[in-house]
């Protein structure tokens, strides 16, 4: 098989599965992993994909539609659970925290402290519905224009309301996180995240490896404005170092293997 034909097949697999693993491709094409990595490097230089620690993923678009609820709140991958679990461990007794409506936030609900009192402020109907019966949690839902696609409130009314609070911790995420900062597909989403960070004492960014190194349409906050970023072991060391060079602590969430 010609190299060009192989790369075209790799691109087809990537478009179908939304991710490729270098070792799997090496087995499929009966080549060394180093040969596949050279293919992926060349394809990245051509703008066809983005390399990750163990393979590659599609190039992210700067503007994207919100994921459906079944996808966003469906079964998470082990590395996403690891980030959610580590994030939840930062909540202390009597803290006031912000948790949004992203899938990584939804994953935190499984790991929220059960035996200490604390407060959650959220702009997500889904999160509010899930935590309203927790005896140890005081919960507040930020109001505003309801977005049909996501069930989150991020309009000027929501921004005005959230600015009335003071928070100990906010857990923020977006469509991408790079050395530049956290970014998302819409200016209004970026503005809401920025407002949440403005009222929070500690700002923790949550970003699985598939979002690291990506810059989307609108920047929410710069990397330097964050106190800590939690990611996973598949994030490329080069991307981790670029973030650390901004003076931000990066913690790798350990994946539990059954």
Checking if the pLDDT of 10 tops 60, the result is: yes
CATH topology of domain 3-57: Arc Repressor Mutant, subunit A (1.10.10)
Q: Supply 193's token pair.
A: 């995240």
Predicted pLDDT of residue 55: 84
Distances (CA, A) of 152 to 69, 149, 178, 232, 240: 11, 8, 24, 26, 30
| Choices 3.40.50.1360, 3.40.50.2300, 3.40.50.620, 3.40.50.1820: CATH for 69-253 | 3.40.50.1360
Q: In the chain, where are the structural domains located?
A: 3-57, 69-253
Q: Same CATH topology for 3-57 and 69-253? A: no
Q: Residue 81: which of 102, 99, 107 has the closest Cα?
A: 107
Predicted pLDDT of residue 63: 53
Secondary structure, 3-state, the chain: CCHHHHHHHHHHHHHHHCCEEHHHHHHHHCCCHHHHHHHHHHHHHCCCCEECCCEEECCCCCCCCCCCHHHHCCCCCHHHHHHHHHHHCCCCCCCEEEECCCHHHHHHHHHCCCCCCEEEEECEHHHHHHHCCCCCEEEEECCCCCCCCCCECCCHHHHHHHCCCCEEEEEECCCEECCCEEEECCHHHHHHHHHHHHCEEEEEEECCHHHECCCCCEEEEEHHHCCEEEEECCCCHHHHHHHHCCCCEEEEECCCCC
* Burial annotation 106-122 (CB, 10 A radius, 16+ → b, else e): bbbbeebbeeeebbbbb
Predicted pLDDT of residue 151: 79
Q: What would the pLDDT profile of 206-236 be if each residue is shown by its tens digit?
A: 999 988 888 888 999 999 999 999 999 988 8
| Average pLDDT of the residues in 106-133 | 95
CA 185 – CA 182 distance, rounded (Å): 11
What percentage of the chain exceeds 70 in pLDDT? 91
Residue 195 CA from chain centroid, whole number: 18
Predicted pLDDT of residue 166: 98
Predicted pLDDT of residue 65: 52
Predicted pLDDT of residue 241: 93
Checking if the pLDDT of 12 tops 90, the result is: no
Predicted pLDDT of residue 185: 87
Q: What would the pLDDT profile of 136-191 be if each residue is shown by its tens digit?
A: 999 999 999 877 666 789 999 999 999 999 999 999 999 899 999 999 988 999 99
Q: What would the pLDDT profile of 62-109 be if each residue is shown by its tens digit?
A: 555 555 566 666 667 899 999 999 999 999 999 999 999 999 999 999
CA 186 – CA 65 distance, rounded (Å): 10
Predicted pLDDT of residue 229: 97
């Amino acid at each position: 098989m010609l190299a060009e034909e192989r790369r075209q097949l790799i691109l087809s697999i990537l478009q179908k599965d939304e991710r490729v693993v270098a070792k799997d491709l090496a087995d499929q094409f009966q080549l060394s992993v180093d040969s596949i990595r050279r293919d992926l490097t060349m394809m990245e230089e051509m703008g066809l994909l983005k390399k990750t620690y163990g393979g590659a993923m599609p190039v992210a678009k700067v503007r994207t539609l919100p994921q459906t609820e079944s996808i966003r709140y469906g079964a998470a991958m082990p590395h996403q659970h690891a980030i959610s679990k580590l994030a939840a461990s930062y909540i202390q007794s009597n803290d006031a925290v912000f948790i949004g409506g992203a899938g990584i936030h939804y994953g935190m609900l499984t790991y929220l402290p059960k035996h200490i009192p604390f407060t959650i402020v959220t702009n997500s109907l889904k999160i509010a519905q899930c935590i309203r019966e927790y005896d140890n949690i005081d919960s507040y839902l930020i109001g505003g224009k309801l977005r049909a696609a996501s069930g989150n409130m991020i309009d000027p009314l929501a921004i005005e309301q959230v600015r009335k609070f003071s928070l100990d911790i906010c857990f923020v995420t977006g469509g991408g996180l790079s050395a530049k900062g956290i970014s998302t597909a819409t200016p209004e989403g970026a503005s809401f995240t920025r407002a949440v960070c403005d009222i929070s004492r500690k700002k923790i960014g949550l970003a699985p490896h598939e979002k690291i190194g990506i810059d989307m349409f609108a920047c929410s906050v710069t990397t330097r404005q964050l106190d800590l970023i939690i990611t996973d072991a598949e994030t490329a060391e080069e991307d981790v170092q670029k973030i650390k060079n901004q003076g931000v602590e990066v913690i790798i969430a350990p994946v539990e293997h059954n």
